[in-house]
């Protein structure tokens, strides 16, 4: 089967934070697992350059908006490189090709679904969304800690309420699979009271930055409508190859959006409604992760809390950060600090996979055991089922359990006591070697370089103990 996997695209009003690293890594690990299973996968990420908060940030810094978004978009691309994110496409919504695609999509919406009228509401710039009074906690946005701004203006509206029953039917039938399933009730409750949505903003609010509404240059396309269309424009929609995008956005391709829990409304209500109106196929699956928190509070650029992911990579290494993020709950909030990264690295990585590789290759070298040939053994029991449930934390735990079991088998047989050339020990060592190769093979979605290096070492003509494949962290990092 073919898969199209996307992340949401972050605003570039500031530097990336650990929450962005989480989503990049979760999606990347899923993609790498699918590719190891033999599937053809296209993986897309990028940046949302057109948000009003980008304009506000540029003003605060005294910079042209273009200069700010280019600099911060480069930082997000740099974070992807630092985390070894194997994307195929990195979308920039300020690119002319994306603008053309959004204009085309706007015109594809059913004419009766668009209309213009006055609107007044409470707007949170951090969320880039109108909030209802019931959404606020003591008068402020619960995510950003700021009071929304009262706004009244003439906007274009999309008749989302017309599509509510159809969207709910798609979700209830599992046509759009929601992961975790516990989110489905929350989504269906929201759809039960679905309202029409404002899909434009007065261009004066963003100093003209963004994509003008086709035929109405005084209005800018609402950033979330603009941003959602990136899933099509990144495939070439609106570009010179008019039908090329259909290779990946068609019913035969399994389309997956990986998103945070604060944006499911846009992906499970707005986006399906827009696609129904335009006559496009729906996504097949939406995976909703929780937040990385500090003292129980979401990490955000606005609050400026949490570890800087680029600094964390420089200090501990990309794979230590990848592993720490992927060992935590796949769908729930969790706290992550340096102590957790160090503990996971020493317990699971250097003391787990790394120690087992060195221990086993040392024994194999003593007995003259040759390297593996042929395809790697199957994954440990339950590993693929965990990935099918999108529970990367469970898949990681299964690999750690396989390491512990293999170590126990070695301890029980005590091969170091046997004389060189003992045929029974040789048989056991080959079995253990093959099992470790299987563990390393399926470790690659989590640790691409380390997993591949262990596989390479175990495939050598004659096995030998080299330098530690996963050294302990330097004392200053720990």
Reported in sequence order, the residue ranges of 208-356 that DSSP labels E, i.e. its strands, are 212-213, 216-221, 253-260, 285-289, 292-294, 297-298, 334-335
Distance CA 364, CA 198 (A): 67
User: Per DSSP, what are the bridge partners of residue 151?
Assistant: 121
Long-range contact set of residues 335-338: C-beta below 8 Å, sequence gap at least 24: 335/292, 335/293, 335/294, 335/295, 335/296, 336/18, 336/292, 336/293, 336/307, 337/294, 337/307, 338/307, 338/312
Instruction: Please give the C-alpha separations between residue 1 and each of 23, 253, 280, in angstroms, as whole numbers.
Output: 23, 7, 20
Q: In which residue are the tokens 């409470």 written?
A: 122
φ/ψ (deg, to 5) at 64: -60, 145
Return the ∠ at Cα 289 (arms to 284 and 293), rounded to 5°: 165
Helices then strands, counting H and E runs in the chain, come out as 18, 16
Instruction: Please give the C-alpha separations between residue 240 and each of 98, 107, 298, in angstroms, as whole numbers.
Output: 12, 17, 41
Distance of CA 325 to the CA centre of its chain: 11
The two beta strands, 200-202 and 216-221, are antiparallel
HSE (side-chain half, CA atoms, 13 Å) at 372: 21
Note whether 443 and 476 are within 8 A (CB): no
| Among 283, 287, 285, residue whose Cα is nearest residue 260 | 287
Distance CA 116, CA 274 (A): 17
H or E stretch covering 42: strand 40-47
| Among 5, 1, 11, residue whose Cα is nearest residue 32 | 5
List residues with catalytic annotation. Answer: 17, 20, 124, 127, 141, 144, 298, 301
Residues 6+ apart with CB under 8 A from 361: 457, 458, 463, 464, 465, 466
Q: What is the DSSP string of 343-378?
A: HHIIIIIIIIIIHHHHHHHHHHHHTTPBPP-SSPPP
User: Per DSSP, what are the bridge partners of residue 177?
Assistant: 285
Q: Which two tokens stand for residue 385?
A: 């089922």
Distance CA 304, CA 344 (A): 25
Distance CA 389, CA 371 (A): 34
């Amino acid at each position: 089967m073919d898969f199209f996997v996307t992340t949401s695209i972050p605003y570039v009003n500031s530097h990336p934070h650990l929450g962005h690293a989480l989503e990049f890594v979760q999606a990347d690990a899923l993609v790498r697992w699918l590719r190891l299973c033999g599937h053809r996968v296209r993986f897309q990420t990028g940046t949302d350059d057109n948000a009003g908060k980008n304009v506000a940030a540029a003003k605060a810094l005294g910079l042209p908006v273009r200069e700010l978004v280019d600099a911060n978009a480069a930082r997000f691309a740099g974070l992807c490189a630092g985390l070894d994110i194997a994307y195929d496409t990195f979308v920039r919504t300020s690119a002319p090709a994306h603008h053309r695609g959004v204009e085309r999509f706007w015109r594809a919406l059913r004419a009766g679904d668009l209309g213009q009228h006055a609107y007044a509401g409470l707007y949170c710039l951090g969320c880039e969304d109108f909030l209802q009074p019931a959404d606020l906690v003591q008068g402020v946005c619960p995510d950003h800690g700021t009071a929304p701004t009262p706004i009244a203006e003439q906007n274009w509206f999309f008749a989302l309420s017309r599509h509510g029953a159809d969207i709910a039917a798609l979700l209830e039938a599992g046509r759009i699979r929601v992961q975790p399933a516990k989110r489905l009730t929350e989504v269906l409750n929201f759809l039960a009271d679905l309202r029409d949505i404002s899909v434009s903003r007065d261009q004066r609010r963003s100093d003209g930055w963004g994509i003008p509404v086709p035929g109405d240059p005084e209005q800018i396309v609402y950033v979330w409508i603009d941003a959602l269309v990136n899933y099509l424009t990144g495939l070439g929609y609106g570009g010179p190859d008019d039908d090329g995008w259909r290779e990946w956005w068609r019913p035969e391709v399994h389309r997956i959006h990986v998103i945070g829990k604060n944006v499911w409304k846009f992906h499970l209500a707005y986006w399906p409604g827009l696609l129904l109106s335009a006559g496009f196929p729906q996504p097949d699956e939406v995976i909703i992760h929780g937040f990385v928190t500090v003292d129980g509070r979401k990490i955000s650029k606005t609050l400026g809390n949490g570890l800087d992911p680029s600094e964390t990579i420089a200090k501990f290494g990309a794979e230590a950060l990848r592993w720490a993020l992927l060992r935590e709950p796949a769908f729930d909030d969790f706290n992550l600090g340096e102590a957790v990264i160090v503990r996971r690295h020493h317990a699971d990585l250097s003391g787990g996979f790394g120690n087992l590789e060195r221990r086993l290759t040392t024994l194999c070298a003593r007995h003259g055991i040759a390297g593996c040939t042929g395809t790697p053994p199957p994954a440990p029991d339950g590993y693929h089922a965990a990935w099918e449930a999108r529970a990367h934390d469970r898949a990681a735990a299964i690999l750690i359990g396989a390491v512990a079991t293999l170590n126990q088998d070695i301890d029980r047989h005590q091969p170091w006591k046997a004389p060189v050339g003992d045929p029974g020990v040789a048989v056991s060592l080959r079995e253990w070697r093959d099992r470790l190769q299987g563990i390393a093979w399926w470790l690659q979605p989590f640790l691409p370089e380390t997993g591949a290096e262990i596989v390479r070492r175990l495939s050598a003509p004659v096995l030998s103990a080299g330098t530690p494949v996963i050294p302990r962290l330097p004392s200053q990092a720990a």
